[in-house]
Amino acid sequence: MKNSSDVTELQSQVEKLQQETRKLLLEKRRLNALLIITRSLSGELDLENLLFKIMGQVQKALHAERCTVFLLDELKNELWSKVAIGIEDEIRFPADKGIAGYVLKSGEVVNIHDAYKDSRFNPEIDKKTGYRTRTILTLPLLNKQNEVFGVFQVLNKKEGIFTPADEKLLSAIAMIASSAIQNAQSYDEQKKSFFSFIETLSTTLDTRDYITAGHARRVTLYAQEIGRLMKLDPARMDVLRYAALLHDIGKIGVPEMILFKDRKLTNEEYEIVKRHAKITKNILKKINFNKRLKDVPEIAGSHHERLDGTGYPEQLKGEQILLEGKILALADTFDAITSRRQFLDRMDLEKVIQIIDSETGTSFEPYVVYNFKYITLDRLIQILEHGHASEINPEDLKKLIDYTLRELVEIRGKSGKSDDELEIENIFMRYYLRQYRTDR
Ligand code: FE
C-alpha cells in the first residue's frame, strides 16, 4: 500500500505530463500553421493576392478577428493596406500615425491589451470602418537590409489577450511573409516599368501616323472589352493587351511615302504595306517577353490572318490562329472602318455592321463577333471617341450603360420605337456621328 505522499507525487507527475502534452499540441498547431502559410505563399507573385492570403492565414493562426499588413509608401511617407471591406479597397494614413506608425519607426514588437487606453493608438480607422479594436499585436516587417518596410497588425484575439507565444509565432510568420512580399513588390515594379515601356513604344508609333492616330490604343480597348466579355483569364488578358498595343509596330518598316500616300496604292505598294505584319512578329520576337507573355509576337503578327486562310502573312486557317489573334483581327478592322475619315461623319453604322456580318465565318471567328456585339454602348462611345472624354456627358453614358451594340442595331432596324429606345438611339448617334464636337 502506497502512502499519501507517493500519491501526491504521482498526481503532480501526471499534471506535468498533461502540461507537456498541451504544450506539444500547441507547438504542433503552430508549426502546422507555419507550414500551411509557407506553402500557400510560395509562388504567389501578385501583391494583392499575396496580401489577402497572408492576412487570412495569420488571422486563422492567431485566433484573431483581423490581420492587416501595412506597407510603407516611401514616396508619400504613408502606410497603406489592401482591405476587402466597405467601398474603398485601400486604406492609407501618414507613416507616423498610430501603433503601426510607432512600430514602423521603432522596430519594436508592441502587444497591447487595451487599445483605447494606449495614447499611441489611432482610433480614426475604427471610426472609418465602424470597428471596435480591443487588443493589438503589432510587429515590424524587415527587408534583407534589416530596414522596416511595413508592419503586421493583428487585432482582437478571440479569447483573452495575445500571449508571448503568439508573438513568437507571428515573428516566424513575419519572416516568411517579408520575403514573399518583397518578391511580389519587385515583380510588380518590373511589370509596371515593362508595361510603361511597351505603352511608350506604342504611343510613339501612333503619333508618327497622324491618319490613324490613336489606332493602337483603341484596338487595345476593343480587344480588352471582347476579352472581358469572353471571360479570358488575367494572363491571357495581359497577352492580349501587349499584342494589341504593338500589333502595327512593323509599320516602322514601311516607307513613309507609301504609308502616308493619299492616293490609291498600287498593287506593288500594297504588297509592301502588307509586310508590316511579318515585321511586327520579327521585331517582337526580339523583345524578351516572360513565359506568361511568350505568345505576344505570334498573336500580334497574326492580326491580318483570316479564318478561311486568305489573310497574311502566313495564310493561317481556323484553329491555327490563336484566339487572341482572332480578337485582334476584329478589333483592328472595326477601328479601321469606324475611324478612317477622321473629321468627316463616320461610315454608316448599318454599313459597318454589314461588313462585319458579311465577313463573319470567313474573316472573323463567329464566337468573337458574337461576344463583341455584347459590348455596352457607353464603352463603345468611350472607345470610338477616345481622347475626347472631357466632352462626353457622363449622364449620357449612364443612360447607355444598359444597352449593347446588338440591341442598338435592333432598335435602329425597327419601326415603332419606345421613348426610351428613341432616346438611346439619339444619344448614341450624336456621339457616333461626332455632332457634339466643336472641332468637326
Ligand atoms: Fe495592321
pLDDT higher than threshold 60 for residue 435: yes
User: Ligand 1 centre from 350 Cα, in Å?
Assistant: 24
Q: Are 112 and 121 in contact (CB under 8 A)?
A: yes
User: Ligand 1 centre from 304 Cα, in Å?
Assistant: 6
Q: Which residue's C-alpha cell is 448614341?
A: 428
User: Ligand 1 centre from 311 Cα, in Å?
Assistant: 11
User: Ligand 1 centre from 208 Cα, in Å?
Assistant: 15
Confidence of residue 56 (pLDDT cuts 50, 70, 90): confident
Mean pLDDT of 51-72: 89
Q: Are 219 and 331 in contact (CB under 8 A)?
A: yes
User: Ligand 1 centre from 216 Cα, in Å?
Assistant: 10
pLDDT higher than threshold 70 for residue 257: yes
User: Ligand 1 centre from 332 Cα, in Å?
Assistant: 7
- pTM, whole model, 2 decimals? 0.74
- What pLDDT score was predicted for residue 439? 60
Asked which of 310, 326, 347 is the last residue of a domain, the reply is 347
User: Ligand 1 centre from 305 Cα, in Å?
Assistant: 10
Does residue 226 belong to any structural domain of this protein?
yes
Q: Are 70 and 55 in contact (CB under 8 A)?
A: no
Q: How are beta strands 78-82 and 64-73 bridged, if at all? A: antiparallel
Pull the grid cell for residue 90: 485601400
Q: Check which CATH number belongs to the domain holding 319 and give it.
A: 1.10.3210.10
User: Ligand 1 centre from 231 Cα, in Å?
Assistant: 25
Alpha carbon separation from 188 to 42, 45, 102 (Å, rounded): 16, 8, 27
* CA dist., res. 386 & res. 84, Å (int): 32
Q: How many domains does the chain have?
A: 2
Pull the grid cell for residue 13: 507527475
* CA dist., res. 152 & res. 341, Å (int): 57
Does residue 410 belong to any structural domain of this protein?
no
For residues 29 and 86, membership in a common domain is answered with yes
User: Ligand 1 centre from 263 Cα, in Å?
Assistant: 19
User: Ligand 1 centre from 210 Cα, in Å?
Assistant: 15
Does residue 371 belong to any structural domain of this protein?
no
* CA dist., res. 8 & res. 246, Å (int): 83
Pull the grid cell for residue 337: 472602318
> Which residue, 178, 173, 177, is CA-closest to 62?
173
Confidence of residue 438 (pLDDT cuts 50, 70, 90): low
- Transcribe 369-418 into DSSP letters: HHHHTT-BHHHHHHHHTTT-GGGS-HHHHHHHTT-BHHHHHHHHH-SS--
User: Ligand 1 centre from 286 Cα, in Å?
Assistant: 19
For residues 162 and 21, membership in a common domain is answered with yes
Does residue 201 belong to any structural domain of this protein?
no
pLDDT higher than threshold 60 for residue 341: no
User: Ligand 1 centre from 260 Cα, in Å?
Assistant: 14
Mean pLDDT of 361-379: 97
Does residue 377 belong to any structural domain of this protein?
no
User: Ligand 1 centre from 428 Cα, in Å?
Assistant: 28
Q: Check which CATH number belongs to the domain holding 112 and give it.
A: 3.30.450.40
User: Ligand 1 centre from 255 Cα, in Å?
Assistant: 15
For residues 156 and 239, membership in a common domain is answered with no
Contacts of 162 (CB under 8 A, 6+ apart): 62, 64, 111, 135, 136, 137, 154
- What pLDDT score was predicted for residue 384? 94
User: Ligand 1 centre from 266 Cα, in Å?
Assistant: 18
For residues 214 and 292, membership in a common domain is answered with yes
Contacts of 7 (CB under 8 A, 6+ apart): none
Q: Which of 109-118, 253-262, 398-407 has the lowest mean pLDDT?
A: 253-262
Mean pLDDT of the chain, nearest integer: 90
Task: List residues, by chain if needed, whose CB lies under 5 Å from ion ligand 1.
Answer: 248
For residues 25 and 81, membership in a common domain is answered with yes
For residues 107 and 224, membership in a common domain is answered with no
For residues 141 and 290, membership in a common domain is answered with no
Does residue 194 belong to any structural domain of this protein?
no
For residues 213 and 180, membership in a common domain is answered with no
Does residue 275 belong to any structural domain of this protein?
yes
User: Ligand 1 centre from 329 Cα, in Å?
Assistant: 9
User: Ligand 1 centre from 270 Cα, in Å?
Assistant: 12
Q: Give per-residue burial for 373-405: e unless 16+ CB within 10 Å, then b.
A: bebbbbbbbbbbbeeeeeeeeeebbebbeebbb
For residues 168 and 213, membership in a common domain is answered with no
Asked which of 347, 362, 387 is the last residue of a domain, the reply is 347
Q: Are 73 and 189 in contact (CB under 8 A)?
A: no
Name the percent of the chain lying above pLDDT 70: 96
User: Ligand 1 centre from 225 Cα, in Å?
Assistant: 19
Asked which of 347, 364, 380 is the last residue of a domain, the reply is 347
User: Ligand 1 centre from 13 Cα, in Å?
Assistant: 84
Does residue 279 belong to any structural domain of this protein?
yes
What is the extent of the structural domain holding 221? 209-347
User: Ligand 1 centre from 185 Cα, in Å?
Assistant: 36
* CA dist., res. 252 & res. 378, Å (int): 34
For residues 157 and 263, membership in a common domain is answered with no
For residues 297 and 330, membership in a common domain is answered with yes
User: Ligand 1 centre from 119 Cα, in Å?
Assistant: 64
Q: Which of 12-16, 87-91, 236-240, 393-397 has the lowest mean pLDDT?
A: 87-91
User: Ligand 1 centre from 405 Cα, in Å?
Assistant: 24
User: Ligand 1 centre from 33 Cα, in Å?
Assistant: 54
Q: Helices 164-208 and 47-61, interaxial angle, to 10°?
A: 170
For residues 141 and 254, membership in a common domain is answered with no
User: Ligand 1 centre from 406 Cα, in Å?
Assistant: 26
85-104 pLDDT, tens digit per residue, is 555 678 889 999 989 999 99
